[in-house]
Structure 1
Amino acid sequence: MSSLHGPAMRHSSLLNLLTSLLLTTAQAAPPTTVRLCYDQEDVYPWRVKGGQGLDFTLLKLLEGRVNVHFELLALPWKRCLLELGENRHDGAVAASFRPERMDVGVYPMAGGVPDASLRMRAESYSLFRLKGSPASWDGKRFIGIEGNVGAQAGYSIVEQLKAAGLNVDTGTASADDNLRKLLLGRVVALALLSSEGDASIAASPEFTARIERLYPPLTERAYYLLFSKSFYARDEALAQRMWQALPAVRDSADYKRAEAAMRQP
């Protein structure tokens, strides 16, 4: 019996040893550095100065799943996208889909459209106005808007507002400063990310007393990890692994806990 099983056992032991060595080598491989730019303005609860927010939580969890290390650079959003198109960054954090952005980067696509299941997150835009203002939105059209509507430069909602024939003021970057502009009468309404506008209003008694959000939202969009064309050409497999890992990260217990904590009043 031993003469029959001895070689097989030795062969099995060798295979196990080789498998263990391969696994150890793979686990010891240093993470690949991926350079990402993101909008420097606070967008609560997604990004808050100091490295807090759900976008950063998601990226940290993604690092562990696909063995990458993200180098993050805060920039004005329009500059982030411009430099992405120049291949000065590997990707941009949380970019909604606009057809013209396909000239500067690569989205996760399925059937010729972005695959929303591989998004980082989803978020809506809403119209904000002074209480008692005639400015309105009925879900299909704008009503009673006589004057400029404020929006943040480089944000995808700007084109929707312009397509509706509105005059859009993009001269102010942060949500808080836009809300102050609304209080001063420099714009008659604002189009802001819903959660960010809500958080800014809740944090200021003056905003709470005088400003309201309208329903329904103007639109809801998915936000993606948008890779530069040079990075995607260089390492398509890694880009795909990152995109494919995002649903599991969003559904993970660690992310859900962070989400609940950020959304507590």
Structure 2
Amino acid sequence: MYKGFTLISARSTWQQNLLLLAGLLFVFPPAVSANNAPSPVLRVCIADQDVPPFSYAHSESQVQQALRAAARRHGWQVDYRVRPWLRCQVELSAGKFDALIPIAPAEHNLQAFVFPMRDGKPDPSRALGAVRAVAARQVGSGANWDGQQFSGVQGPVIYLQGMQALSEQFTHAGVAAASTRTSVDMVRMLLAGRTNLVVDVEPRLRRTLEAAGASERVQILPQVVLERDVYLAVSPPFYRQHKGFVEGIWRETAGADMQAGDAGPLAGPE
């Protein structure tokens, strides 16, 4: 009987200790390890129109993957979202995104967004690369761009909505211009005679003409209309809160287009 009593007492004590431990865990849950905390996310807006080789709406460019890899080295994830380009800029200002790519500095956005700067100007050594905008006309048209001025233009020069650097160039040149939502719309307007000159980013324009079967009917003029460095730009609040991270990814993604070339979109994120 004595031994049986001892066994029952030990079992009872063990059960009491287990219940006590469970109660303590309920009141004081174990701390979550910092290593298990979710990574912060960089929310990046890209245009719904491809900007080769920098960004693609339906898959990732090598430039986008270079940014993703750079962010990962700093413990961050990247979430790309697609919007019309003008909306990207509006929503970045509204705090719905942290950054956008690729964007050329222009009078309207140097105060609104943060670019990598040096001596009071955007730092070309930390640009993602450069974009070239070229003009195109129907074969036989008298519309022209000679590298200095436009001539023979009938109706407005058509360009893609949201390309503010181009808009400013047209204003300075004193030429009427109008924007359209897509490069496809732009080429259709040119072929329909609603304009006799369009301006777009060169790789995108060439791909659009090829897809439309219009490469033989449309001539791309040799003189570049605009060539600008393009950047990853961030919102001022995000830069103030994460300056070290932003400076790091600017440095690590500089010249990313030189590595990408014009290889086209990739299947998806790494």
Q: TM-score range by the shorter chain?
A: 0.7 to 0.9
Tell me the residue number matched to 1:221: 228
Shift of 1:106: 0.5
Quote the Cα distance in structure 2 between the aligned partners of 1:78 and 1:136: 28
Partner of 1:51: 59
**Structure exhibiting the larger radius of gyration computed from Cα positions:** 2
| Match 2:70 to one of 49, 62, 81 | 62
User: Which of these residues, 238, 248, 266, is aligned with residue 241 of structure 1?
Assistant: 248
Deviation of residue 224 (structure 1)?
0.6
The counterpart of 2:136, out of the listed 125, 128, 131, is 128
Q: Report which stretch shifted further, 106-115 or 87-96.
A: 87-96
Give the CA deviation at 1:146: 2.4
* 1:93 shift after superposition: 1.4
Moved more, 226-235 or 30-39: 30-39
SS of 1:223 mapped into structure 2: strand
1:114-193 counterparts in 2 under 5 A? 114-155=122-163, 156-170=165-179, 172-193=180-201
Distance 1:246 1:27 in 2: 26
Query: Using a 3 Å threshold, how does the CA distance of structure 1 residues 260 and 38 change in structure 2: closer, same or farther?
Result: closer
Kindly tell me: are residues 146 and 248 of structure 1, through their superposed partners in 2, closer, same or farther at Cα, counting changes over 3 Å? closer
Q: Which moved more, 1:221-230 or 1:29-38?
A: 29-38
SS at match of 1:226: strand
In the TM superposition, residue 103 of structure 1 has moved relative to its aligned partner by: 2.6
- What SS does the corresponding residue of 1:261 show, helix, strand or coil? coil
Describe the shift of the 1:58–1:244 C-alpha distance in structure 2 as closer, same or farther (beyond 3 A): same
How does the TM-score come out when normalised to structure 1?
0.80
* Overall identity of the aligned pairs, in %: 26
Q: How does the TM-score come out when normalised to structure 2?
A: 0.78
Deviates most, 227-236 or 137-146: 137-146
Moved more, 241-250 or 161-170: 241-250
- Structure 2 runs not aligned, ≥5 long: 1-32, 266-270
* Distance (whole Å) between structure 1 residues aligned to residue 80 and residue 57 of structure 2: 12
Say how many residue pairs are matched: 232
Say if 1:203 and 1:46 are closer, same or farther in 2 by CA, change over 3 A.
farther
Stretches of structure 1 that go unaligned for 5 or more consecutive residues are 1-24
Q: Is this contact kept in 2: 1:61–1:249, CA < 8 A? A: no
User: Structure 1 residues 236 and 63 mapped into 2: Cα distance closer, same or farther (>3 Å)?
Assistant: closer
Task: Evaluate the alpha carbon distance shift between residue 249 and residue 162 of structure 1 in structure 2; reply closer, same or farther with a 3 A threshold.
Answer: closer
Once the two structures are TM-superposed, the CA of residue 144 in structure 1 deviates from its matched residue by 1.3
Secondary structure at the aligned position of 2:82 is classed as: strand
Q: From the superposition, tell whether residues 188 and 248 of structure 1 become closer, same or farther in structure 2 (CA, over 3 Å).
A: closer
Distance 1:234 1:29, change over 3 A: same
CA RMSD of aligned residues (A): 2.3
